[in-house]
Amino acid sequence: MTEALPGRGRRPAWARQGGQALVEAVVALSALALVYAAVLRVGAWQEAVLQASHASRHAAFLLARQAPEDAVAGEGLRAERSRSLPDAAQPGGRDEDAGALRRDWAVQDAGIVRAAASRRPAAAADLPAFPGTGRGSSWQPVFVRHTAILAGAGHAPDDGAVQRRVAGSATAWRNAADRSVRLGRRIRDAVADTDAPWGRPAPEFDWLSAWAGRVPERLLEPRRSGAARR
């Protein structure tokens, strides 16, 4: 009688499980492909959201710096202004002098500016199809972001603009300053001969321009920890 060789007629364990391993590999690769597509798609969406947010904020702050509304409008960007508040809700209320100051200082509310930017993720056709959407790889959502800001509320782009606004206010500056300048010039003319031998400088009646960009030195000093300032 012939003895069977050990293991003859039986397949090894790794050979019997070959088909199962193939199915598992297909499932795993499908899951990895799904994750890959999701990461790329979500990343493109996130970039579009950030672009829309930055564009709306940039446009809103341009409007706050007195840029015309049509100057910031463009592709995927629009700006609009809400109705201004009534006089009773404005700074100073219905008082006539307060209204004059609001107009002189450009602090009267002219309405909230709303800038909206929309962005569609770029290179949509290059992204893999997102399983379950049923729309193919070319479908992409449009993201819209809004920024609202109070423009024209006394904002000034630089020191010179602040001084021009102050100088142009009849109620807060010009009326009183003009009277003082007239009186000062009369005094200057009356004492010019007396002051001439002393070499004194002539009076300066431009009381605003000389302060352009000037900040008191004590305010520029670094603060010392624990040191009290008066």
pLDDT of residue 99: 83
Structure tokens at 217: 């030195």
pTM of the entire predicted model: 0.49
| CB-neighbour burial class of residue 24 (10 A; exposed 0-12, middle 13-18, buried 19+) | exposed
Contact 93, 181 (CB under 8 A): no
Look at residue 201 in the predicted model and tell me its pLDDT. Answer: 82
Amino acid (one-letter) located at 16: R
> How confident is the prediction along the chain (230 residues), in pLDDT tens digits per residue?
445 445 555 655 555 555 667 777 777 888 888 887 777 778 888 888 898 999 888 888 887 766 666 666 666 788 777 777 777 877 778 888 888 888 888 787 777 888 889 888 865 545 555 554 544 455 678 889 989 887 766 767 777 778 888 888 888 888 999 999 999 999 988 888 888 888 888 888 888 877 666 666 676 565 554 444 44
**What tokens were used for 34?**
């799904």
- Spatial CB neighbours of 129, under 8 Å, sequence gap ≥ 6: 37, 136, 137
Please state, in angstroms and rounded to a whole number, the distance separating the CA atoms of residues 30 and 10: 33
Which residue's structure tokens are 């040191």? 227
Domain ranges within the chain, ordered by starting residue: 15-150, 159-212
The amino acid at 26: V
The 3-state DSSP class for residue 109 equals coil
Ordered alpha helix ranges (H), 106-174: 159-167
Tokens of 212: 């352009």
Looking at residue 29, its amino acid is L
